[in-house]
Structure 1
Amino acid sequence: MRLDGQRESDNVDDVRGQGGSFGGGRGLGSGGGGLRLGGGRLSLGTVAVALVAGYFLGINPMTMLSMLAGGPMPVQQQAPAEPTEEQREASKNDPGARFVRQVLATTEDVWNAQFQAQGARYEEPRLTLFRGSTPTACGQGEAAMGPFYCPADKRVYIDLGFFDTLKSRLGAPGDFAQAYVIAHEVGHHVQNLEGTSDKVHAARQRLSEAQYNALSVRLELQADCYAGLWAHHTQQSKQIMDNGDLEEAMNAAAQIGDDTLQQNAGRAVVPESFTHGSSAQRVRWFKRGFDTGDIRQCDTFNTRTL
């Protein structure tokens, strides 16, 4: 991936080492045979699915748990931490942080143009780099969640240690695989601006768990398609891709498919429990965005075949 000379986004807050604690918001409470959140009862199996989903490129699991329970988004009173001047200076010379800033800048260029073409203004998200844990408007962010997007504060959160996990544990090495992760999370931000996330959340009230899982799959596959769209337009305008980069992204999409994750965990593959889509589906929708560069081709909610 060729990023030399590419601008760096100003929307990245590097608070690594600062840590944080959760206070003043709604949390999880025990109750009988499950966990209760937002007035609804969740089975331990559902909680496990939400945590795994969050770990592998989904929204904050606390937000997902709230959706599954049919309750409101968890509210965090404490604002996300701001980096100190010392942290800002250290971040300027950090290769990992610089990579994230450059990739985020390319997503800003693409989505500003996409929204402008539709006569709208793109509200750029902020991205927080943290280590270990950090307070968010969706609850306490933990490194074990993997990268996630919080719609309440319109921020993407990443512990850079996840990229090591992506390479060593998930079998998805490469800088373009990492860029795909960022672009996928930004895709969730686009869905938030479009109102798609709110519609999915509202639909939870009238759906069974299996039906909601199916809707969640469509949400995630659209974010994959948006990531492909980002790759298409960034390559056209900046020629940043090396040979093998496309394969890196598609391999990452395949390695985090629900069926592959369940198989690798020694579990039976249960399509009704999928929240992100199968490996084949994730690759297919990323490739559709990449091949067409057309946001209209990313409508996963009005197609019968995923």
Structure 2
Amino acid sequence: MHRRGFLAAGLATVLVSQRAIAQMKMDDMPGMDMGGHAGHDMGEAPQSTVVLPEGKVLRDLPRLANEAGTPGLFKAKLTAQRASVRFAEGLDTPILGYNGTSPGPLIEAVEGDRVEITFANRIPEETSTIHWHGMPVPADQDGNPMYPVATGADRTYSFDLPEGSAGSYWYHPHPHGKTAEQVYRGLAGAFVVKPKIDPIPAEYGDTVLVFTDLRLAADGTMPDNTMTDLMNGRVGDHVLVNGQKNPRLAVPFGTKRRFRLYNATNARFLRLSFDQASMMIIGTDGGLLEAPVAADEILLSPAERLELIVSFDKPGPATLYT
């Protein structure tokens, strides 16, 4: 992680990268853009000419409903299946999705809860699993390649969330030889474990931003990997936030907002910086920090998560660059 300026007194000035590949704009009321122009520099795959719509209102991720009627128990079902999404006007893109969506449903539970999630693998001719990335769960419940779930089969993952486990986690498949492909085709979702008593003021909200990237062929399909992709990891042509390019979010001037940032890309490193807003890091992959630190720029690696409090204390739009 890039740490220059993190320990400076107060809130540091945001430095915007010259190689900005995604952006998020915030007006004091009219909105915020997230995700944006992206270009991979792997050298083999041609740059996509597909144009994605931009500037729509940021959508909330769908929440996975708790089917249990018992306090302290979270019970639900996640299905990995083929689905179709319209990223670009007039083009249907075949994807893989949890419960038909990508990113998958947001899971919210509380430390101390018992979790029982039934996974249904409906991907034709492929095994899959659900790996609870970063969560303190038993090895035989963590969806590793040793426990594949066959096509058409179900498997229930059961585990307890211990006290002190509150934090920002995510879930994705982890089958042998297919993990990267199943992730970039759409199988990824956020899992938030809430503390019983949250020290962050409720009025800051709790906004989840899942960053993914996307490569599309002219017909809207996802092209196969190139040899460079196989060696170095696949980097898409479009950076998306909650499945959208450059969405906007209205934020009142003079307020603070809590964001949970997830890098759910296959291989892209995100360099994050705000202009016209100040950010404090309050948490990382392991949960909340003992004390917040000021940041002017952050490097978020694939699979990494970060919690921020952003202060919108300057008039006009604010932009998050990555």
Do both proteins adopt the same fold according to a TM-score greater than 0.5, normalized to the shorter chain? no
Give the TM-score taking structure 2 as reference length: 0.28
Structure number with greater Rg is 2
More helix by share: 1
RCO comparison, higher one (Cα < 8 Å, 6+)? 2
Give the TM-score taking structure 1 as reference length: 0.29
